[in-house]
């Protein structure tokens, strides 16, 4: 697996898109810092950007990479290699290079600004960890969709729909159901609804850490009253790990049964 990972990673490191992604975050980091002059405000703005954009880019990148490396995959399948190591190697190659672009792109400007001397360093690290998780989750979801669909257009369409659903539509439905059922106790419902969406989960996680009650909203308040800040943090991190591990397992399971 490590060999495949190495080749996929090198392949991506030479591709233009990794640099575009890296430069985008670099620019974003610098612009935010110089417009805000305030690290903690910049972190909040970044959160909003990361939570929407990282999933979108990971999804599109994952699907594109999977379809573009079809030939490479077929070449590898005839070699003495385990199927799961072929797909996992490619997946970690993509997710790894995307995460690297994100962490370096945002890390460099913040470091130059004096992150190590400020007390938001933990908030910022959590932001990067969440970004990394979102990258891993949405890349593997995209890989799963691409593996299930031979047709590129369909695969692309389904994955963009998945992003749209989790990033936008889900919240709308969630809010709507809160309004419709407002006479019922909704604590456990809203808890469950939050954990079933990695984007909501990440948002809650960061807001819990930042401890901004005004921004916490209903779910955050429920989370907080139920678990307190620390337990809530661990629980939502654990859910993010599940969100990563389960689709990866699904990817290996499905790949073993597919015909090429």
Partner 1 sequence: MIQIENLHKKFGKNQVLSHLDLQIDEGGIFAVLGPNGSGKTTLIKSILGMVVPNKGNLKVLGTSIRKKWKYRQEIDYLPQIANFPGNLKVKELVRMIKDLRQKPSKEEELIKRFGLEPYLDKKLATLSGGTKQKVNIVLTFMFDSPLIILDEPTTGLDPASLLKLKELIMQEKDKGKTILITTHIMQFVEEMADEIVYLLEGNIYFKGTIHELMAKTGQNDFEHAIAAISTHTTDA
142 and 59 Cβ atoms separated by less than 8 Å? yes
**Rounded Cα distance, 87 and 94, in Å:** 11
CB of 65 to partner 1, least distance (A): 11
Q: Where does this chain touch partner 1 (CB under 8 A) — which range of 9-17, 44-52, 108-116, 230-238?
A: 9-17
Q: How far is CA 105 from CA 72, 211, 224, 257, in A?
A: 29, 26, 32, 38
CB-CB contact of 54 with 135 (8 Å): yes
Neighbours of 222 (CB within 10 A): 20
Query: Which of 11-19, 124-132, 142-150, 241-249 is the region at the interface with partner 1 (rule: CB under 8 A)?
Result: 11-19
Does 154 participate in binding partner 1 (rule CB under 8 A)?
no
Does 3 help bind partner 1 (rule: CB under 8 A)?
yes
Please spell the DSSP secondary structure of 21-44, one letter per residue: HHHHHHHHHHHHHHHH--HHHHHH
Using the rule CB under 8 A, is 90 a contact of partner 1?
no
In the block, tokens 């949405």 appear at 138
For residues 216 and 207, is the Cβ–Cβ distance under 8 A? yes
CB of 73 to partner 1, least distance (A): 9
Applying the rule CB under 8 A, the residues between 201 and 260 that interact with partner 1 are: 256-260
Closest distance of CB 82 from partner 1, Å: 5
- Please, which of residues 69-88 interact with partner 1 by CB under 8 A? 69-72, 74-83
As measured in angstroms, the least distance from the Cβ of 249 to partner 1 is 17
Contact between residue 122 and residue 43 where contact means Cβ atoms under 8 Å apart: no
- Please state the closest distance from residue 255 (CB atom) to partner 1, in A: 11
21 versus 113: smaller Cβ distance to partner 1: 21
Distance CA 142, CA 162 (A): 9
Name which position in 11, 42, 127, 195 contacts partner 1 (CB under 8 A). 11
Least distance to partner 1, CB of residue 90, Å: 11
Query: Rule CB under 8 A: is residue 67 a binding residue for partner 1?
Result: no
Q: What part of residues 184-203 is at the interface with partner 1 (CB under 8 A)?
A: none
> For residues 37 and 131, what is the distance between their CA atoms, to the nearest angstrom?
23
DSSP 166: I
Distance CA 90, CA 61 (A): 12
- Between 41 and 83, name the residue whose CB sits nearer to partner 1: 83
Q: Which residues bind partner 1 (CB under 8 A)?
A: 3, 7, 11, 14-15, 69-72, 74-83, 256-260
């Amino acid at each position: 697996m490590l060999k495949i990972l190495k080749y996929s990673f090198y392949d991506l490191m030479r591709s233009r898109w990794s640099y575009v992604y890296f430069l985008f975050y670099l620019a974003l980091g610098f612009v935010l810092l110089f417009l805000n002059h305030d690290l903690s405000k910049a972190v909040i703005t970044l959160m909003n950007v990361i939570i929407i954009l990282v999933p979108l880019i990971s999804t599109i990148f994952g699907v594109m990479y999977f379809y573009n490396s079809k030939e490479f995959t077929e070449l590898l399948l005839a070699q003495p290699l385990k199927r799961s190591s072929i797909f996992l190697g490619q997946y970690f190659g993509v997710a790894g290079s995307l995460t690297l672009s994100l962490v370096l792109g945002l890390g460099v400007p913040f470091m130059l600004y004096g992150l190590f001397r400020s007390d938001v360093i933990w908030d910022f690290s959590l932001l990067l960890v969440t970004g990394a998780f979102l990258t891993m989750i949405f890349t593997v979801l995209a890989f799963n969709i691409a593996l299930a669909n031979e047709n590129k257009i369909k695969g692309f369409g389904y994955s963009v729909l998945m992003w749209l659903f989790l990033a936008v539509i889900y919240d709308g439905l969630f809010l709507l159901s809160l309004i419709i059922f407002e006479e019922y106790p909704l604590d456990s419902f809203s808890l469950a609804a939050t954990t079933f969406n990695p984007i909501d989960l990440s948002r809650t996680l960061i807001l819990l850490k930042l401890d901004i009650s005004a921004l916490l909203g209903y779910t955050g308040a429920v989370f907080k009253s139920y678990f307190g800040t620390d337990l809530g943090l661990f629980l939502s991190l654990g859910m993010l790990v599940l969100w990563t591990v389960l689709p990866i397992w699904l990817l290996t399971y499905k790949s073993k049964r597919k015909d090429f």
